[in-house]
Structure 1
Amino acid sequence: MRYEITADIDAPAERVWEVLVDVERWPEWTASMDEVRRLEDRPFGTGATVRIKQPKLPTAVWEVTDFVPGSSFTWVSKSSGITSTAVHELTSAPGGPVTVRLVFDQSGPLAPLLGVFAGRLVRRYLTLEAEGLKRRSESS
């Protein structure tokens, strides 16, 4: 099961990145998150772990597996029968908007079943995240 969404943001790339990697503040700008808590006191990057509580979903721990400063990060969460991977990527052209690309992928023996029951919710949460990132980044 793979879902992807993109959104254009009229803000400097540095501002969008700053908002995106301040993960503990996500609940302030997206209704898809109830609580986001960093699990260690170190810079956010490869190896960082985060506990996330989302509405209608069990609490999960995510580990950053890939981190390109100013550009993208990927984190992974594993539970019995499912591996969830989420990619957060920014691209921009000179003088143009920043495009955020959000990808959510689930694999494993239980992924097809979960897709049947949670597919709409996942699409909704990706949309809320993209819209919220846009609003927060474009506000002063």
Structure 2
Amino acid sequence: MRWEDTLVIDAPVDVLWSLTADVQRWPDLTPTMTRVTRLDDGPLRVGSRARIKQPGQAEAVWTVTELTEGRGFSWQTRLLGLTMIGSHRLAQVGDGCRNTLGIEVHGRGAGMFWLVFGALMRRAVRTENRGFRDAALRVCGKAQEGADHRHA
């Protein structure tokens, strides 16, 4: 099961990347993150790990499995025998940036998990993407208006 949320944001890709790669700052950007603690030092890279606490959920350790500097990364965690993969993809669109956040759930019981928690997960991803948008626009000194394109 996979779901994505995409926004075109009136901010340069490098601004979005700086917000995306600074995972410990995410609780300042979105109410869907209570705490993010890096478990290693240095720039985000394949193998980097972070302990994440989200409202109403147990803490989980997420490990970066793929990273393209300045363009995005994916990471995953295991939960109840399921593998969850989160992805963050950036692409330049004119003077702005297309920010695509995705969530995937794989494993036995993924369909049932998605039936029970899918709406909550979709809402969280949408909220997170809007948090990135609003933060990027603040960094750029722009009003919180912009192209808003969602893709399910």
Band the TM-score falls in, shorter-chain normalisation? over 0.9
CA distance in 1: counterparts of 2:26 and 2:119, whole angstroms: 21
CA distance in 2: counterparts of 1:70 and 1:103, whole angstroms: 17
1:99-118 Cα offsets, whole Å, 9 max, x none, are 00111000001211211111
8 A contact 2:12–2:95 mirrored in 1: no
CA distance in 1: counterparts of 2:55 and 2:109, whole angstroms: 20
Residue segments in structure 2 that go unaligned for 5+ positions in a row: 140-152
CA distance in 2: counterparts of 1:11 and 1:115, whole angstroms: 33
The count of residues paired between Structure 1 and Structure 2 equals 139
Cα offset, 1:134, TM superposition: 0.2
Cα offset, 1:59, TM superposition: 1.1
CA distance in 1: counterparts of 2:12 and 2:116, whole angstroms: 38
Q: Aligned-pair RMSD on alpha carbons?
A: 1.0
- What is aligned with 2:14? 14
- What is aligned with 2:3? 3
- Equivalent positions of 1:112-123 (< 5 A) are 112-123=111-122
CA distance in 2: counterparts of 1:43 and 1:133, whole angstroms: 19
CA distance in 2: counterparts of 1:134 and 1:91, whole angstroms: 14
CA distance in 1: counterparts of 2:81 and 2:9, whole angstroms: 36
- Equivalent positions of 1:18-29 (< 5 A) are 18-29=18-29
Runs of 4 or more above 2 Å deviation: none
- What is aligned with 1:37? 37
1:68-113 Cα offsets, whole Å, 9 max, x none, are 00001000101332000111000013x3320001110000012112
8 A contact 2:7–2:99 mirrored in 1: yes
Question: Could you tell me the TM-score, scaled by structure 2's length?
Answer: 0.88
CA distance in 2: counterparts of 1:117 and 1:84, whole angstroms: 15
| Aligned partner letter, 1:122 | M
1:16-49 Cα offsets, whole Å, 9 max, x none, are 1001111001000101101100001232111100
CA distance in 1: counterparts of 2:79 and 2:128, whole angstroms: 23
CA distance in 2: counterparts of 1:2 and 1:133, whole angstroms: 20
Question: Percent same amino acid among aligned pairs?
Answer: 35
- What is aligned with 1:52? 52
CA distance in 1: counterparts of 2:32 and 2:117, whole angstroms: 13
1:137 aligns with 2:128: no
